[in-house]
Amino acid sequence: MRVRALIREHSDHAPLCISLCDTNFGPKPFRWFDSWIDRPGCEDVVNSVLIGWCNDGPADLNLLRKLRTLRDKLKWWINECRAKENENEKSLKQEKEDMEWLMEQKDLDESELWVWSECSKSLQEIELYRSRDMKQKSWVKWASLGDENTSFFHSVVNGRKARNALPGLEWEWRSEPSSPEEINELFSLLSDIYDYVWKGGNDDWRWKADANGEFSVNKAKSLMFNCHRPITNIHMKWKGWVPLKCKIMVWRAMLNLMPTKVELCKRGVTLPSDLCNLCDSELETTNHLFTGCVFAVEIWSRVESWCRLPPIFAFDVSDFLKIANLQATSKHSRYILRGIVFTTLWAIWNERNDRIFKGKRCRAIEVVESIKMISYFWFRNRTRLKGIDWNVWCKYPLVLM
């Protein structure tokens, strides 16, 4: 639109001339979505155009007409599919709500449960197609605008959140959902809340382990004893000369319960990086920290030389707990070697914490020297052998017994 002021001659007002310019940006670009391949009928539409096409005229014009025909066919087909999906979604939701209402009134038989499960499965497939299309849209925008594309992606997310919003329900996010996996989980949660039909009444707590719904310590104990716990073949000997705090740390490492960066990220803790601070090349997991890290491998190699052991091949923390039984030749040697292994695990974990929280970095040989010193101090003060010699301990500790 253009505005131009005309010359004022016989009036005290200046007339304005407004002209409209018709700007033609061309046809709307056609976009192909990967989810169409998995939809039934897509391959038939493409084959119907390619097989039934008659080549006529120049090759470039012929190709242009063929692609235009294929585009029109695909547009008509996808519009029909989406219209059918919307109709099926309404009927499936209604049928699922009816089944859930019956579920509250009585126990469903096998046929009714099958109907309910098929409705849920079909609704999940429809939502999967939509989420895949939305994900591809976000990828296209990211490719052109870069990683800091907040205007498009968050507008889509906020639009979906606004449509699924419930009056009176406010979110307090520790961190806003941003990745496609988090967005899909959010949409699934909102869908479950939105589809729930409240029948009225007051909320109350019910203990499922009791027929009357009342909680009791006796019922809780019975539930704990009757539950099927996973069977593990990992056993740890707690008798030894290292402190209890060291034993608890080794026990937690054996069960993969250490607060490594990967485990913290799984629990929603935001970290600047999830790489191992000892090598800065791999994800920090329990097995990597104690067995796969090149820094830890060098420490174990030096401990092998100190204790005169053959090469250690460990793929899990539990493999280190078997070293004393496999390498030592006597009961007393196993007793000393088990404590040295515990002390080595303790020193590796402390070195990791010092680098993160104190900014201190030690070389592998320095960590091994601290292992010798700490293990000597613990063994000398926590056993009946008070007169052991420091030089003998540093030369070969297993010769003491």
Whether this model's pTM surpasses 0.85? no
Does position 138 have pLDDT exceeding 70, yes or no?
A: no
Span 63-83, pLDDT tens digits: 888 888 888 888 888 888 888
In whole angstroms, give the CA distance from residue 183 to residue 130. 12
Pick from 334, 307, 332, 306: nearest CA to 322 = 334
State the Cα angle at 246 between 243 and 252, rounded to 5°: 140
Model confidence at 150, pLDDT cuts 50, 70, 90, reads: low
pLDDT score for 353 = 93
CB 246 within 8 A of CB 342: yes
Model confidence at 296, pLDDT cuts 50, 70, 90, reads: very high
Does position 252 have pLDDT exceeding 70, yes or no?
A: yes
Does position 161 have pLDDT exceeding 70, yes or no?
A: no
Does position 247 have pLDDT exceeding 90, yes or no?
A: yes
Angstrom CA distances, 232 to 54, 91, 256, 351, 363, stand at 68, 48, 13, 30, 36
Q: What percent of the chain has pLDDT over 70?
A: 82
Domain ranges of the chain: 34-145+176-195, 244-400
Which of 46-60, 182-196, 235-249 is the most confident on average?
235-249
Does position 131 have pLDDT exceeding 90, yes or no?
A: no
Span 168-227, pLDDT tens digits: 556 677 777 767 777 778 777 777 777 777 777 777 777 877 878 888 888 888 888 777
CB 294 within 8 A of CB 279: yes
pLDDT score for 146 = 47
Which of 19-23, 76-80, 342-346 is the most confident on average?
342-346
Least confident of 153-157, 232-236, 254-258: 153-157
More confident residue, 143 or 257: 257
Render the burial of 173-201: b for 16+ CB within 10 Å, e for the rest. Answer: eeeebeeeeebbebbeebeeeeeeeeeee
Strand partners, 17: 4
Render the burial of 236-254: b for 16+ CB within 10 Å, e for the rest. Answer: eeeebbbeeebbebbbebb
**275-282: average pLDDT:** 89
Backbone φ and ψ of 57, nearest 5°? 90, -170
Residue 71's Cβ-count burial label (10 Å; 0-12, 13-18, 19+) is middle
In whole angstroms, give the CA distance from residue 401 to residue 391. 15
Backbone φ and ψ of 161, nearest 5°? -65, -40
CB 376 within 8 A of CB 390: yes
Pick from 261, 250, 268: nearest CA to 288 = 261
Model confidence at 114, pLDDT cuts 50, 70, 90, reads: confident
Model confidence at 147, pLDDT cuts 50, 70, 90, reads: very low
pLDDT score for 375 = 92
More confident residue, 119 or 12: 119
